Amino acid sequence: MIDREEILARIGAADDAASLEALRVENLGKQGKVTQLLKTLGKMSPDERKTEGPKIHALREAVQGALDARKAELDRAELEARLKTETLDLSLPTPAAPQGSIHPVSQVMDELAEIFADLGFAVAEGPEIEDDWHNFGALNIPEAHPARAMQDTFYIAQGDNEEGAPQVLRTHTSPVQIRTMMRDKPPLRIIAPGRVYRSDSDATHTPMFHQVEGLVIDRNIHLGHLKWTLETFLKAFFERDDVELRLRPSYFPFTEPSAEVDVGYSIENGRPVIGGRENWMEVLGSGMVHPKVIANCGLDPDEWQGFAFGCGIDRLAMLKYGMDDLRAFFDADLRWLRHYGFSFLDTPTLSAGVGA
Amino acid sequence: MKFSLEWLKQFLDTDASVSDLADAMTAIGLEIEGVEDPADRLEGFSVAKVLTAAPHPDADKLQVLTVDTGDGKPLQVVCGAPNARAGMKGVLGQPGATVPANGMVLKKAAIRGVESNGMMCSTRELELGDDHDGIIELPEDAPVGASFADYSGASPVFDVFITPDRADCMGVMGIARDLAAAGLGTFKPVEVPTIETDGSCPVEIRTDDSEGCPAFYARVITGVKNGASPEWMQRRLIAAGQRPISALVDCTNYLMLSTGRPAHVYDLNKLSGPVVARRAKAGEKVLALNEKEYELDESMTVIADDKGAHDIGGIMGGEHSGADEASTDVLLEIAYFDPDRIAKTGQKLMLSSDARTRFERGVDPAFMDDGLALLTDLIVKTCGGTPSEVTRAGTPPMERPTITFDWNRTAALGGIEVPRERQVEILESLGFTVEGDDVTAPTWRHDIEGPADLVEEVARIVGFDQVPSTPLPRPDGVAHPTATRSQVVERRLRRAAAARGFNEAITWSFIPTSQADLFGGAPNLVANPISEDMKAMRPSLLPGLAAAARRNLDRGASSVRLFEVGRRYLAEGEKPTAALLMAGERSARDWDVGKATGFTAFDAKAEALALLEAAGAPTDNLQLFMDAGETWHPGRSAKLGLGPKKILAAFGEPHPELARALDLPKGTVVAEIFLDQIPQPKKTERARTPYAPPALQAVSRDFAFIVPNDLPADQLVRAIRGADKKAIVDARIFDRYEGNDALSLAVEVTLQPEAKSFTEEELSAISKKIVEAAVKKGATLRG
């Protein structure tokens, strides 16, 4: 008779896959002991088979079970032994991906486009090398007018365009107003961001900088709409509800009435923080488009009126994001670009916010 | 424009505080740039009497004074002024006071061993004048102990920015009128004196240039004695930032600052013959009061006599004919000059002056006689003399347009409801004449042309802060997209570049001409650049990025990945362009990978393609053309396009000579994307085509060819793809081996069966076509 306990004990003590396989062959192989026992069943009488059958089958199952269990144990031990050898020092650094960035001026332009899109303003563009009619004449700045001296102008040396008009680097984005009014039919709502140039260079002025122009032309637009638009825009841009504006009567040849716009701020930790009415700083020039300008564009000033405003983008960026030197904007110092720049993921949206 | 409160009060009866006045000026469009109270600066300085003066024991030039400060306890003060003496009264600064001229805080000190408890001050030290020869001597009746600020009548000074449209506010009187209209007091117009005259003007006055100088009034005063102007006048002039010169000059300056009316005083004895306003002769020269000589042309107006031109009319007097200390007989000139001509002359000569500033903005043509009377009165009162009658040549243009005003415009344009009566009241208080709906501007306002100007007058006096914010009408529904296709392209391209590790730069649009010349020159040069380095409008973005890369490398950056989106300024227009530059290390040395690696032209290609893809270009259809042009390395650069005439991008290594000229390190690669060349995608439906994956799996077959050394891999791949356009869905180089005498390229071809799997026969037929196509390119199948 087979000693079941002995077999199970030997299986349990097998210490590698080979000896376990030998025990399987010894017991469950074609000539194995248990196999031999199974073969005896065929020769038994039905009664004998009824009593012996279950026992022999139980023995086979026990042996098979013991083999399987031992195999699993051995596999686990082997895996554990292998895992002990498989270590990585994951504190080692991975290759650093280069850190790209969006320039603050581009970011702020995207913010402006998003805010004004909600107010129904499209983004318009125009040339930076302008003829002096678009830059001055159409804007009611005649040649001898002292206002021309207000904006130190770069002239293009090769001079005149095909029509013989002197060429200048645009001193403001206002010529885009003219081009828009001449090209499109009112009602109009546009902003026009872009590079502008003035012959000026010191700590707070660079010969090239960025402006955004706003223009609304319709039948019943008045100064109150201008005020609301600027308040709404600046509140959205600075992401504060306590933004306060002060409109001061001023003079621009292309608007009448004209207003300079101050925004209230306070000094916190040595920095200007927009909000409240403690101090004022000038951020915008604006006004109702001068009837002559509207007429210069071929529109009837008795039918159409509206407002325009212009604002430095670099300055908006500085006020919102805290840079203090305009010149650094155009130096392309990688350290500055990474410090003040924006992730490509910081796309301004109304739902996620226009600031980053 | 600077003026003191006491001067303002000559024209404005008001109890308003300094800050209320300042706020009101800003609110009505006279922007306050600063308010300074000299009393603040003179704090700690008081009237004192010198009781005794004795020589300093150890210094020849010093004296030891005892000074009565009014509190009965005389102080000892060491003083170096030669005029310090017992019995005189002066100004004492006590310890703690700050000397205005140099910011020094006074303290008790020992001077050469003698204690000194303050300083007796000179005019210059208190910034009241230039005199520094001795200490200030005050009159006998000066009250000892009084604060010097009070004693000297120091008055707060307003500094106001006057916009170019408001010449009328370039005199204190005009500012007072505006403030009165805004409810800050009662306007007191200047009182014009009646002048006692003796005889007609002995000098003939003419204007031969009625366009440039339509009116020229004058009179002579004989027997004047020029000297220092009176103290009250000097005080006002100093407050206004003017240096007192002599009584005659000060009187004209005073008239100008007070009423906005420039005038000029000639020494009659330096003139000969009639005094005439005429056009300058071409090349005529004038030595002006600033001691510079100006060469004039025929568009300019001069005041001349028989000897020649003396005066650049309305801009600056002449050095040889002006009144000076010795003048006894003078000719006063009050003229009206055409604003446009003054502006043009001033611009041409690049000559600014207070007179030009006022004339080019437009003075009050109705104020010529009054101005002349006021000036005469000032001179006679200060310098004595006998005035002649006035002689007048020409008449100034006095017409002002009458505007028929729809009073509702104030609400319709200004956004503020103001009752008609109030509007009329405001306009009249500003000097406008209102008759029914007809409004006429006063002669001193040159800026009123139409209804919009009247709206501004009413709105600014009521206050822009009273204009209610009114929401813009909002179209129904969610805001519509507003960005144009090219704007979207730029935004996507920027963010794609940043995502790929590039830092966006903004560099100057102008570059040195020498750098522009490397790119064939700049068609647009700035005529008046800030510097020669900012002269050429860039024909390429690369010089700006190269300079930026160089700066960063010099600052120690090891790896530079920069891009810029901006315009190139070409003869045919402004071209929106994106440029990328890679320099230094592509990857740093690394424990895993090994040594640092550099950039190759393939990096530039990868970036160009990625950005073109982001920009929506049809990158699958792009052809590659080797050698991107003269500025590129001929063998390591290429263009990508939809044909040789439709180039979307260029990339690779810059030409070594260009790299040297731009001081770029070896291993720099660049790419340019020509944004205006990217075709608009065909308008597509939002819905995609139905999803229909192939039923059967694709199979792949590898082919290895020996190819001619100069065969671009791209051509082999294109040939293979074209061999069976239906079955072949992809072909890709996966191996390249450059042997001693042959180049081997291995291609993995992906074949997509349709309804049925390929049979062996079909597969060998396709293979045959592939090999044939390759053979046509000079390839042979490797055995």
Q: What is the dihedral of CA B377, B381, B384, B385, to 10 degrees?
A: 10
Describe chain B by its helix, strand, coil percentages, rounded to 5. 30, 30, 45
Whether residues A66 and A135 share a domain: the answer is: no
pLDDT on residue A144: 74
All residues at 6 or more sequence positions from A314 whose CB lies less than 8 Å from its CB, including other chains? A105, A206, A209, A210, A326, A329
The reply to whether A349 falls in a domain is no
User: Which one of A95, A119, A199 has the shortest CB-CB distance to B472?
Assistant: A119
**Domain of residue A52, residue span:** 4-83
Q: Per DSSP, what are the bridge partners of residue B692?
A: none
The predicted-structure confidence for B421-441, as pLDDT tens digits, reads as follows 999 999 999 999 999 999 999
How far apart are the CA of A22 and the nearest CA of chain B, in angstroms?
45
Q: How many domains does chain A have?
A: 2
Whether residues A140 and A60 share a domain: the answer is: no
User: A108 is written with which tokens?
Assistant: 């702020």
How far apart are the CA of B163 and the nearest CA of chain A, in angstroms?
6
* Whole-number Å distance between alpha carbons of B675 and B486: 8
pLDDT on residue A162: 59
Cis peptide before B100 (omega within 30 of 0): no
Out of A83, A114, A138, pick the residue that ends a domain: A83
Q: CB–CB of B415 and A227 under 8 A?
A: yes
User: B144 is written with which tokens?
Assistant: 């000892």
* Whole-number Å distance between alpha carbons of B8 and B180: 11
Tally the C-alpha atoms within 13 A of residue B520's C-alpha that lie toward its C-beta. Answer: 10
**pLDDT tier at B728 (50, 70, 90 boundaries)?**
very high
pLDDT on residue B642: 95
Q: By CA distance, what is B560's nearest residue in A?
A: A334
pLDDT on residue A219: 94
* Whole-number Å distance between alpha carbons of B81 and B100: 18
Q: Please check the confidence at residue A159 and state whether its pLDDT lies above 70.
A: no
DSSP A162-213: TT-PEEEE-SSSTHHHHHHHHHSPSSEEEEEEEEEE-S--BTTB-SEEEEEE
- Which residues in chain B touch residue A98, judged by CB atoms under 8 angstroms apart? 500-502, 559, 561
Chain A contact probe: residue of B338, B344, B467 with most A CBs at under 10 A: B467
Decide if B409 touches A, using CB distance below 8 A. Answer: no
User: B301 is written with which tokens?
Assistant: 């107006």
User: Which one of B459, B467, B528 has the shortest CB-CB distance to A154?
Assistant: B528
Check for a shared fold between B2-37+156-187 and B402-466.
yes
The B residues from 163 to 182 touching A (CB cutoff 8 Å) are 163-166
Decide if B522 touches A, using CB distance below 8 A. Answer: no
The B residues from 51 to 90 touching A (CB cutoff 8 Å) are none
Q: CB–CB of A222 and B414 under 8 A?
A: yes
Vertex B15: Cα angle to B11 and B19 (nearest 5): 95
Q: What is the mean predicted confidence (pLDDT) over B295-299?
A: 94
* Whole-number Å distance between alpha carbons of B605 and B583: 15
- Residues B40-151, CATH architecture: Beta Barrel (2.40)
Q: How many CB atoms lie within 10 A of CB B756?
A: 9
All residues at 6 or more sequence positions from A20 whose CB lies less than 8 Å from its CB, including other chains? A11, A14, A67, A70, A71, A74
Q: Please check the confidence at residue A150 and state whether its pLDDT lies above 90.
A: no
DSSP secondary structure code for residue B128 in this structure: S
DSSP secondary structure code for residue B316 in this structure: B
* DSSP H helical ranges for B485-534: 485-499, 513-517
The reply to whether A92 falls in a domain is no
Whether residues A127 and A246 share a domain: the answer is: yes
- Which residues in chain A touch residue B562, judged by CB atoms under 8 angstroms apart? 332, 334
* Whole-number Å distance between alpha carbons of A125 and B540: 20
- Residues B205-394, CATH architecture: 3-Layer(bba) Sandwich (3.50)
- Which residues in chain A touch residue B497, judged by CB atoms under 8 angstroms apart? 100
How far apart are the CA of A256 and the nearest CA of chain B, in angstroms?
6
| Tokens 């581009």 sit on residue | A106
Q: CB–CB of A123 and B28 under 8 A?
A: no
The predicted-structure confidence for A72-118, as pLDDT tens digits, reads as follows 999 999 999 999 999 999 999 988 899 999 999 999 999 999 999 99
pLDDT on residue B205: 94
Q: Is the Cβ–Cβ distance between B357 and B236 less than 8 Å?
A: no
The amino acid sitting at B186 is T
Least Cα distance to B368 among B336, B337, B339 occurs for B336
User: Which one of B464, B557, B567 has the shortest CB-CB distance to A249?
Assistant: B464
User: A281 is written with which tokens?
Assistant: 């700083």
All residues at 6 or more sequence positions from B398 whose CB lies less than 8 Å from its CB, including other chains? B365, B366, B443
Q: What is the mean predicted confidence (pLDDT) over B749-759?
A: 93
Q: Please check the confidence at residue A151 and state whether its pLDDT lies above 80.
A: no
CATH of domain B699-781: 3.30.70.380
The predicted-structure confidence for B164-222, as pLDDT tens digits, reads as follows 899 999 999 999 999 999 999 999 999 999 999 999 999 999 999 999 999 999 999 99
User: B726 is written with which tokens?
Assistant: 């239906």
**pLDDT tier at B130 (50, 70, 90 boundaries)?**
confident
Q: What is the mean predicted confidence (pLDDT) over A309-332?
A: 94
Q: How many CB atoms lie within 10 A of CB B477?
A: 6
Q: By CA distance, what is B555's nearest residue in A?
A: A333
Q: How many CB atoms lie within 10 A of CB B684?
A: 8
Q: Is the Cβ–Cβ distance between A28 and A63 less than 8 Å?
A: yes
The reply to whether A177 falls in a domain is yes
The B residues from 459 to 488 touching A (CB cutoff 8 Å) are 459-460, 464-465, 467-472, 474-475, 479-484, 487
Query: Among A211-225, B268-282, B679-693, which is the least confidently predicted range?
Result: B679-693
Strand, helix or coil for residue B342: helix
* Whole-number Å distance between alpha carbons of A249 and B462: 11
* Whole-number Å distance between alpha carbons of A83 and A234: 61
Query: Among A214-223, B149-158, B512-521, which is the least confidently predicted range?
Result: B149-158
The amino acid sitting at B571 is A
pLDDT on residue B634: 94
Backbone angles phi, psi at A183, to 5 degrees: -90, -45
DSSP secondary structure code for residue B72 in this structure: S
Pairing relationship of beta strands B386-387 and B215-222 according to DSSP bridges: antiparallel
Least Cα distance to A313 among A242, A243, A213 occurs for A213
The predicted-structure confidence for A244-273, as pLDDT tens digits, reads as follows 999 999 999 999 999 999 999 999 988 899
**Helices first, then strands: H and E counts in chain A:** 12, 11
Whether residues A140 and A260 share a domain: the answer is: yes
| Tokens 């068609």 sit on residue | B523
How far apart are the CA of B755 and the nearest CA of chain A, in angstroms?
44
**pLDDT tier at B603 (50, 70, 90 boundaries)?**
very high
Integer CA distances (angstroms), A314 to A151, A211, B207, in order: 18, 8, 52
Whether residues A198 and A305 share a domain: the answer is: yes
Strand, helix or coil for residue B730: strand
Query: Number of CB pairs < 8 Å for A and B?
Result: 267
A277-313 b/e with 16+ CB inside 10 Å = b? eeebeebbbbbbbbbbbbebbebebeebbbbbbbbbb
Indicate the burial class of B533 (C-beta count within 10 angstroms; 0-12, 13-18, 19 or more).
middle
| Tokens 């600066």 sit on residue | B41
Backbone angles phi, psi at B522, to 5 degrees: -100, 120
| Tokens 């007058």 sit on residue | B457
Q: CB–CB of A146 and B343 under 8 A?
A: yes
The reply to whether A227 falls in a domain is yes
- Which residues in chain A touch residue B529, judged by CB atoms under 8 angstroms apart? 154
CA B353, B354, B355, B357 dihedral sign is positive
Whether residues A125 and A69 share a domain: the answer is: no
Whether residues A73 and A119 share a domain: the answer is: no
ipTM: 0.89
User: Which one of A98, A207, A225 has the shortest CB-CB distance to B470?
Assistant: A225
The B residues from 616 to 635 touching A (CB cutoff 8 Å) are none
* Whole-number Å distance between alpha carbons of B97 and B117: 11
Tell the CATH topology of B402-466: Phenylalanyl-tRNA Synthetase; Chain B, domain 1 (3.30.56)
The reply to whether A99 falls in a domain is no
Out of A51, A83, A115, pick the residue that ends a domain: A83
Element containing residue B455 per DSSP (H, E): helix B451-462
Q: Is the Cβ–Cβ distance between A81 and A16 less than 8 Å?
A: no
**pLDDT tier at B319 (50, 70, 90 boundaries)?**
confident
On whether the B2-37+156-187 domain is CATH 3.30.56.10, my answer is: yes
CA B629, B631, B635, B640 dihedral sign is negative
**pLDDT tier at B734 (50, 70, 90 boundaries)?**
very high
Q: Please check the confidence at residue B141 and state whether its pLDDT lies above 60.
A: yes
Give the gyration radius of chain A's Cα atoms: 42
* Whole-number Å distance between alpha carbons of A50 and A29: 24
Q: Per DSSP, what are the bridge partners of residue A311?
A: A212, A284
Pairing relationship of beta strands A166-169 and A129-131 according to DSSP bridges: antiparallel
The reply to whether A142 falls in a domain is yes
Whether residues A128 and A232 share a domain: the answer is: yes
Integer CA distances (angstroms), B468 to A187, B130, B427, B465, B516, in order: 23, 52, 22, 8, 53
Strand, helix or coil for residue B46: strand
**pLDDT tier at A1 (50, 70, 90 boundaries)?**
low
Q: Per DSSP, what are the bridge partners of residue B626?
A: B638
Whether residues A75 and A108 share a domain: the answer is: no
* DSSP H helical ranges for B500-570: 513-517, 542-554
- Residues B485-677, CATH architecture: 2-Layer Sandwich (3.30)
The reply to whether A352 falls in a domain is no
- Which residues in chain A touch residue B508, judged by CB atoms under 8 angstroms apart? 207-208, 330
Whether residues A67 and A143 share a domain: the answer is: no
* Whole-number Å distance between alpha carbons of B362 and B601: 65
Q: CB–CB of A220 and B562 under 8 A?
A: no
Decide if B228 touches A, using CB distance below 8 A. Answer: no
Q: Is the Cβ–Cβ distance between A175 and A138 less than 8 Å?
A: yes
How far apart are the CA of B399 and the nearest CA of chain A, in angstroms?
20
pTM: 0.87
Whether residues A145 and A253 share a domain: the answer is: yes
Indicate the burial class of B301 (C-beta count within 10 angstroms; 0-12, 13-18, 19 or more).
buried
Q: CB–CB of B574 and A154 under 8 A?
A: no
Strand, helix or coil for residue A70: helix
Query: What percentage of chain B exceeds 70 in pLDDT?
Result: 100
Whether residues A108 and A189 share a domain: the answer is: yes
CATH of the domain at A128: 3.30.930.10
Q: Per DSSP, what are the bridge partners of residue B93?
A: B45, B119
Q: By CA distance, what is B455's nearest residue in A?
A: A257
Strand, helix or coil for residue B23: helix
Share the mean pLDDT of chain B. Answer: 93
